[in-house]
Structures are given as C-alpha cells and as structure tokens.
Amino acid sequence: MHRTISPAVFRGHIFHISGAPTVAEAREHLVSVPDGALVTGVDGTIAWVGPFAELPAAFAGLPVTRTGFIIPGFVDTHIHFPQTYTTDAYGGGQLLEWLDECVFPAESRLENPEFARRVARDFTRRRVSVGTTSALVFGSAFAPAQDALFEESRAAGLRLVSGRGIQTVGTDSARALITSEQAALELTAAEIDRWHATDTGDARTALLQVAIVPRFSLSVTPTTLAGLGELYDSVRGRGVYFHSHLNENDRPGTGEIDAVRSVYGTEKYLDTYDGCFLPGSARGGSSLLGPRSILAHAVHCQNSELARLAETGTSIAHCPTSQAFLGSGTMPWRRTTAFGVNVAIGTDVGGGDEWLVARVLNDCYKAHLSEPGDAGVALDPAALLFTGTLAGARALDMEERFGNFDLGKDADLLLIDPERWEPLALVLNNAVRADDAALAAEQTLFALLLALREPAITGVYVRGRRVSVE
C-alpha cells in the first residue's frame, strides 16, 4: 500500500554524484555535505539540498529525521527473480553446467503459483532490506509468477523493470521453461500490455515497466530473435526495455561464447542481438540494441562489440560477484569504459550471492585493482558510488528522474545509521583521515560503501515515500 507523501527534512552526511558525468568524471562531481539537509516536497521530489545550517526558512517547520548518512537508492541492473533461493548453489562447474544442475530445476518450481507468490514476496522483502530502490529484474517463464512480482513491487512502492524469461530451445532440465516461438511472442506481448507503465501511463514517470528478456542467445533460435525484433519495433516507442546476457563465459570450445558462435555461425556474440544472427553475421531482423537495452556481464567483448554498444547507447550490467562465483573472469574495466560504454552494477542473484549493491561494489573494487599489469585500476569512491546509483539510472534511461540528489528529481534515498552495525561504526568513527577535507570525504565514502551491511540501512524511500513489505 502506498503511503502519503509528507514534506520532510532528512539530516545527515549527504553523499551523491551531481549532474550527468561519465564514470571518469564522477570524482569531480562528488558532493559531500557532512551536516547536510535534504528536503522532500509534497510531490516526492527533492526540494532542497545543502548544509543544515543554511536550511531555508520555508522548510524550518518541517519534521526532521536525523541519521548518519544519506545516499541515493541503489540501482541493481541485473538480478534474477526466480533465483531468489538459488544463491550459493553447487553446480560442479561454470555457467552452462550451473544452469543445467541448479538454475533450470529451481526456476521450474515457479510453475506453482502459490510457491511463486512466496518467492515474489521474499524477493521484494530482500530488495527493501538492502536498499535497492530500482532494479532490472530477469523474470520467470511463468505469467502468474510475473504477475506476483509486479503486484508485490507495486504494493511496496519500489521501481521495477522486468520481463518473463524467454526460452524456445534448451536442455531437458529446462523443459518446463520452454515454450513455442509463437507462445513466447504472445506471452511477452501480453505482459507488456498488462504491466508496462500501468501505474502512471507514461514510461517517463512509471515505477513499473516491462522488458523483453530472452535468457541468452542459446535459449532461442534465429526465428525467435526475428520475432522479438519485430515485437520490439512495435513497442520500443512505448519505452519497453531489452535485457539479456552477453559474453559471460569464454571456456574454449565448450563455453557459452564458442557455443553461440557455433550455433549461429556469427562473427561475434553481439551480432545475435543486433539483428545479424544469420550465418556469416548476415542480417536476419531488427536490432534489439539501444538506450533502453542492457546486457549483463560483457566480460569477453571484442573491441568492435564495445564500440557498437557505445554507438547504440546500450549499457552493460557489470556483475563482478557472480563472475567470480562462476569462473567467468574479470570484465576489463579500463578497456570497456574507454569505449564510452555506460557500465552499471548488477548483483546477478543467484549466480551472485550478495544482494546488497555495496557488497558487489566491494568486489568490483577488488577485481579491477587485481587486473594484470596496466589494466589494473584503483576505482575511486566516487566512481563506485556512481556505478551503483547514477550509472544504473542512466542504463534504465531514467537519469532525469533519479540516481542522484539534483533538485527536482524523485527523492529515492537511503538512510544509513552506522551504529546499527558496529563494525561499520568502528571503522567510520576511529579510522585515520587525511587533513585535506576532500580526501577525507572520499576516505569516509569508501569505508561507508565497502563496510556497509544490511542492518545499517534504516530507511528506504522512493519518491519521498518510505517503502516496506508487510
């Protein structure tokens, strides 16, 4: 149930990335206000941000909520709803073995509507607990399960982009998830009509939106891709999204990438999503790339693929935690971002076993610091915050609405009380800080992000409303 929006003042140490920078420019746009005030208006937008001592008289009578830190809500650009109970599942191998042994059987259980509703409730509850205010969610193959997910998200007041997982071919373990090609198109079109922007009627403002989501190229055929391209052509103008996986596993000969190129006869994996899915990368249909298209992983991209992603405005959902779990490798940060591709963070639950975006940012920092030779990079705290917030809003083509605390944007925010998680409080209260104020702020933000745990997140707000799951 939605709660009434009341204008309010939130007081605490404010961190956000202002404006619309690239990740390389994020440090210059880091805003740190140690004793700050953030004012939310009756319309759920940000009415004022600045030092509490300078709070305008017009807001002096509003109720004040004090907290330790205030940051934008986390944006998770790749997470699997039907894998809610599948984290840390032992599959005895890398991606393709794990799918067969763990994921396909687990996802098939959501055919039971009662079980699916329980999963939807637990999934939504976890989202609230970790402060994920917006998420691009890989959905279930079953329409009643997707209805439950949208209903639970709507009741909580969270942002959701999701689409049913499309499979028209697959192994025996995926049998329950597979439909005919015609049924795949019909079910996807029906989900779009049922749920896309139904809460406001406008994709620019909606909390609930739909994506077209083939699991990956190996789960569909050229005929399926041609049909999805035609469908996307008909709904792209309504703001529908496209979401799938790209270049995740590169095990020689038997891995995902070699399998895709062998099955389709294409030069590059990305060609299959770019309408060039016939042998020799000949065009067979419409491209699925664009500003509302997000491809997960992109660990092993060719330079030409990165250039094409940047050219089309397609974003990457970077999932370092799951990539480590499945032995997929490390996405080369310097090379990828140098092409101008927008890279946002994804938990990839259940291949990833961390729901909290900050924990995945922790893995992100470590992974890229450990890249070999000149490829290694120590991501600064502003870049990490950007990747977990504003970059996600950009990937979802919703940067004008949320992702930072610029005036007039929706008030999507987290309240963090370090005293609720003693290890975080000890680090923040006792660590050595630089004499330089700007560097000291970066050090504090770094510790806040890398040491954050769920108990310290005490308030989650979307459009100025506190969200919760009953």
pLDDT of 186 higher than 90: yes
pLDDT number for residue 1? 39
Q: How large a percentage of the chain has pLDDT more than 70?
A: 99
**How many helices (H) and strands (E) are present in the chain, helices listed first?**
15, 16
85's CB contacts (< 8 A; 6+ apart) are 106, 119, 122, 350
**In the Cβ-directed half-sphere of 259, how many Cα atoms lie within 13 Å?**
18
pLDDT number for residue 253? 87
Q: What is the pLDDT of residues 16-48, one digit of tens each?
A: 999 999 999 999 999 999 999 999 999 999 999
If pLDDT is split at 50, 70 and 90, which confidence band does 254 have?
Answer: confident
Question: Of 76, 73, 94, nearest to 351 (Cα)?
Answer: 94
Q: What is the pLDDT of residues 195-233, one digit of tens each?
A: 999 999 999 999 999 999 999 999 999 999 999 999 999
pLDDT of 241 higher than 50: yes
Q: Return the amino acid letter for 278.
A: L
Q: What is the pLDDT of residues 370-411, one digit of tens each?
A: 999 999 999 999 999 999 999 999 999 999 999 999 999 999
Q: What angle do CA 216, 219, 222 make, to 5 degrees?
A: 95
pLDDT number for residue 3? 52
Mean pLDDT of all residues belonging to the chain: 96
pLDDT number for residue 469? 77
If pLDDT is split at 50, 70 and 90, which confidence band does 5 have?
Answer: confident
Query: What are the structure tokens assigned to 380, written together?
Result: 């600064």
Question: Of 184, 182, 212, 183, nearest to 196 (Cα)?
Answer: 212
Q: What is the pTM of this model?
A: 0.97
Q: What is the pLDDT of residues 130-185, one digit of tens each?
A: 999 999 999 999 999 999 999 999 999 999 999 999 999 999 999 999 999 999 99
If pLDDT is split at 50, 70 and 90, which confidence band does 96 have?
Answer: confident
How many whole angstroms separate alpha carbon 242 and alpha carbon 300? 20
Q: What is the pLDDT of residues 282-304, one digit of tens each?
A: 999 999 999 999 999 999 999 99
